[in-house]
Each structure stands twice: as C-alpha cells, then as structure tokens.
Structure 1
Amino acid sequence: MNPATFRQLDRVELDCLKGRLSHDGYAIVPQFLDPAGCDQVLASLQELHARQDFGDNDFTGTRTKRVFNLFAKTRVLDALLVEPNLLDLVHHMLGPGARLSIASTMEIHAGETAQALHQDDAYFPERPHPALVVNTIWALTDFTKENGGTCLVPGSHRQAGPVDPAARSVAAEMPRGSVLLWDGAVWHGGGPNMTETSRFGLSLNYCRGWIRQQENQYLSLDPAMVLGLPEDVQKLLGYDICEFLGWADGRHPMRAIIPEVRKRVYAGMRKRRS
C-alpha cells in the first residue's frame, strides 16, 4: 500500500463517529480509502474470488462468495488493519487490547436474497453489555440499498431481547472507499442485490483481547500430536467450534490440521505467490 492512502480524520470527526457508535451502534467513515487504494485491494482479493464457489445456504448466501483467512493469503491488507484513525475508533469501543477476530470477504452477486438479521456476538448471553466485538466492512465498490448494502437496526445493541421481525432497518449506503463500523450486538444482515452488478466488501472484525484462551494451545502443541489425541481432549484444547467461533479458513479446525488438508492449503498458497 502507498503511505498516503487514507483520508485523515480530525478530532471533531472522530468524536462525532464515536458518539454515533455509542448511540446508534454503528457509524460510517466516508471515502476513507482513496480510489487507488481501493483498486489495489480489490484486484488482490478478486484473484482469490476467481477460484471461490458461492455459498450453499441462505445465511452465507447462495449468490455470495466469501474468502476467509485473508492474512495467510495476501499482504495487501496489512495497512488497513493497523490504520491509526480506525484503530482509535475500535479502541474507543473495545479498549487498547483489541485483536483481530476474523478477516473475510463478502461479494454479493446479482439475485442474492436478504440475509436474516442477526448479531455477531450472539454467543454472549447477558444483554445489554459493553461492546465485546466491533466489526468493519470496507466498501471496495459502492454500497447501495439496491445492491445489498448491509442493513442495520439502529440502537439495537442497547436492548435486552431480539428485535421485532418488523423492526426498521437502515441500509448502509456509502461510496467505495468508505468503512462501516458497528457494535457486534447490533442486529444486522446483508441486503438483497437487486442490480446486475456485484457488491464487494472486506470485513476486518475485532474483539476484546481477553476473549481467548489464556495459553495459546495452537502454537504450544504439535499438530501431529493433536491428531492422535482423544476427541474430547481435542475439543477442550480448542480444536472445535462453538456457535460460529473457532473456524480455520472456513473449515473445522481439526480438518485444517489434517496433513492432507494442510498440504493442499499451503500448496495452493505457494502457487498463488509464484
């Protein structure tokens, strides 16, 4: 990434964005990444999407392509992840110990239907609660109501129960280069794409730093040894999923450490780099 890629935010704008995040649960930073930066990121991610299949259910989208584990596959996102103004907004919600939770893409193609409204921190039982997850979507193409711009229910992060099915949602309409941030407790979902072109978003989601195991079992244990452990031991070590937490490149973590699977994954990565 070129160094002068991001629009700088002054203190007044940052304070305004923080106020919207607290009150509405979401905020948009308009035209944050310049057109050249959008082109560079989009071109890199489209290479990954060229080999990606559509989803196979209504939630992930039968006309939506998603790629996971992005930081293992490209270096084009590094500057976006650590951009100081964006991190200022994330730390305002999560504190200084925030960590990347997931990095993925979502390309909503023509004919996709609306995704069901949901919360990305649905696994936390007590509500309302302080922000535990902050999600971002970088608009690498224009987001409109017609092409599947993310729909959000304003203020829904402050309520104890689920939203009424008839609750009014707002489509996040923003030009390419903009960034949408929202509290993971906000009810939201991808909108339907009623146009002939696709809508391409990059999702970099953050969580509080303490939402993790105290000891990093994944680096501490030899994957070859993990394969030979009893299944209940594997699960307690963290090689399992809970709700939608714990995936490895879109697969169950045990499938990700099976030698044949690892060999195919890394062979593909080397091929893309060559």
Structure 2
Amino acid sequence: MFRTPDAAELACHEEHLAREGYVIVPELLDAAGCGTVLAAMQALHAPETFGDNDFTGFRTKRVFNLFARTRALDPLLRNPALLRLVRSILGPEAQLSIASTMEIHPDETPQALHRDDAYFPVNPHPPLVVNTMWALSDFTDANGGTRIVPGSHRQPGPVDPAAASIAVEMPRGSVLLWDGQLWHGGGANRTGEPRFGVSLNFCRGWIRQQENQYLSLDPALVRMLPDEVQKLLGYDICQFVGWVDGRHPMRAIVPEVRARIHAGLHRGTPAR
C-alpha cells in the first residue's frame, strides 16, 4: 500500500520541511491504496453540498470528523514516514488536530492566503501545527493545487497579498506537509475535473486540538482502535497533561471506570 522511503530520503525531507516550511513526499501511497481511500471518501461526499463562503469555497466540498466515519484513513494516520516528518517538527507527542476532505470542483476561485496556526494567539512561538495533504488525484496548477509561499513560516508578519505564491504539483498518492506558520491557500480549479485531497493536521500534544476528538468519537469505538491510533487521536498523556481522575485517558473510557468517575467516586470504590 505504501512506498517505504529510505533513511537518506527522509533526512532530506526533514531538512527541506524545516528550511522551506513545506515538503512533498512523492507517491507515498500506491495506486491501489489511492483507489481504496478515494472510494471511501467519495461515498462520504455523495450527500454533501458545496461551501457557502469564499474561504470554504462555493465550489468545494468538505467532510469533517473522518475518524468517526471510516477506518479507511487509519493506515495513513499511522504511516511511519509521515509520523517521522511530523514529529521532527512537533516532537514525539504530536496528536491529530483535525481531519477533513477537500474536493475542489471546476470553477472554484483561489482561497485567500492564510496561516493554519492563526487560531493560537501567541507570538512569536515555536512550530505548533504541521498539516498534511494526501493527494487522491493529481495536483496541478490548473486544477487547484495548494498554493504556498516557501519560507514564509519564518516571516513574523503577513505576506504581501501580491507576493508570488507557487502551486504545489504532485501526482496522486503523494503527500504535502507544511508548517502551520506557512502562508498558503487552495488554488483555483480551471479544469473540468475535481481535485480531491485528504487533510490530516497535527498539533503538539499539550495544546487543544482544532476538532474535539473526545466528543467526536464514541468511546466504544475508540476502545477498538489500535493503540497508536488512540494515542494520535489524543487519548494519551503529554508530560503531565491529559489525565482523567489520575488515570490514563484510555483507562477512563472503560465503562466501569467511567461510571465510577461520573458518580464522583474515588478510585478503588466499588461502583453501585
């Protein structure tokens, strides 16, 4: 399903991500994997309508809360190459912040350039967010490939709106990663076909996730997921952050433990 980049390639990608604020890992997901994931995402998109403003796109479809809806993305979330690059910026306790789809249809206009960590009003700050975009169709300048301003993650203020941004062009199966401080935006689709991407965005383990994973997913579902997926969804401890009544959060969603906590009983007290 996945290509396995060697250590030299990954080291080169790490250096480029840190220096330029973005990197493209080409064709990480094979054709069969792309087909499987795309079919699952298209099924979710079938009943959806277009956005209702310039930022979300009047000709763009989006679906959120993906890990409550499908298991098709679990392998992408756990991919070792992806996690190595994300953790090279955010550290070992990086967690999923939000997962969504972005299907840009013909005649969509360009999205305004923006930063994805702007909702954290702390400046200056170390990298707090690393976002990823999996290309389930080819990304080109013509079909709305994400536009970026390389190196702008090091710029303290906003970029000049007239500044030259470049379109990310990559074949399907590739993944784009970028620092949340990088100025970027969706491109205009001037073709007759939609451009389809899946965005898995990460943040440091000690800040709040953009999408509330704890309320988005049924605890019964979370208990069935692989340990690594549980941790990446935020069911983990980051230093001294994340405890529930002194317990690891995965212990706290076991039914009998939850009942005891909600009843206000102490650990070791039998639930009535």
What is the TM-score with the length of structure 2 in the denominator?
0.76
2:191 to 190, 195, 202: 195
1:16 is matched with 12
2:140 is matched with 144
3-state SS, counterpart of residue 75 of structure 2:
helix
Cα-to-partner distance string for 1:119-172 (whole Å, 9 max, x where unaligned): 000123444532100000000000000000000001111011000111111111
1:212 is matched with 208
* Whole-angstrom CA distance in 1 between matches of 2:180 and 2:213: 26
1:33 is matched with 29
* Whole-angstrom CA distance in 2 between matches of 1:179 and 1:60: 21
State the shift of 1:14 in Å: 0.6
2:231 is matched with none
Q: Does the C-alpha gap of structure 1 residues 32 and 19 become closer, same or farther in structure 2, counting only changes over 3 Å?
A: same
2:171 to 157, 170, 175: 175
Kindly tell me the number of residue pairs found equivalent between the two proteins.
213
1:95 is matched with 91
3-state SS, counterpart of residue 164 of structure 1:
coil
State the shift of 1:217 in Å: 11
1:161 is matched with 157
Q: What 5-or-longer segments of structure 2 have no aligned partner?
A: 216-272
Q: Does the C-alpha gap of structure 1 residues 209 and 115 become closer, same or farther in structure 2, counting only changes over 3 Å?
A: same
Q: Percent identity?
A: 70
What is the TM-score with the length of structure 1 in the denominator?
0.75
* Whole-angstrom CA distance in 1 between matches of 2:122 and 2:203: 17
Q: Supply the AA of the counterpart residue of 2:155.
A: Q
Matches within 5 A, 1:225-264: none
State the shift of 1:12 in Å: 0.8
Q: Supply the AA of the counterpart residue of 2:168.
A: A
3-state SS, counterpart of residue 96 of structure 2:
strand
Residues 149 and 172 of structure 1 are in contact (CA less than 8 Å); yes or no, is this contact kept in structure 2? yes
Matches within 5 A, 1:32-111: 32-111=28-107
* Whole-angstrom CA distance in 1 between matches of 2:214 and 2:89: 28
2:110 is matched with 114
* Whole-angstrom CA distance in 1 between matches of 2:131 and 2:29: 17
State the shift of 1:212 in Å: 2.6
* Whole-angstrom CA distance in 2 between matches of 1:182 and 1:59: 19
Cα-to-partner distance string for 1:216-251 (whole Å, 9 max, x where unaligned): 9967xxxxxxxxxxxxxxxxxxxxxxxxxxxxxxxx
Q: Supply the AA of the counterpart residue of 1:145.
A: D
* Whole-angstrom CA distance in 1 between matches of 2:208 and 2:189: 36
3-state SS, counterpart of residue 201 of structure 1:
strand
Q: Supply the AA of the counterpart residue of 1:11.
A: A
3-state SS, counterpart of residue 32 of structure 2:
helix
Root mean square deviation, CA, Å = 1.6
3-state SS, counterpart of residue 144 of structure 1:
coil
Q: Does the C-alpha gap of structure 1 residues 23 and 127 become closer, same or farther in structure 2, counting only changes over 3 Å?
A: farther
Q: What 5-or-longer segments of structure 1 have no aligned partner?
A: 220-274
Residues 128 and 159 of structure 1 are in contact (CA less than 8 Å); yes or no, is this contact kept in structure 2? no
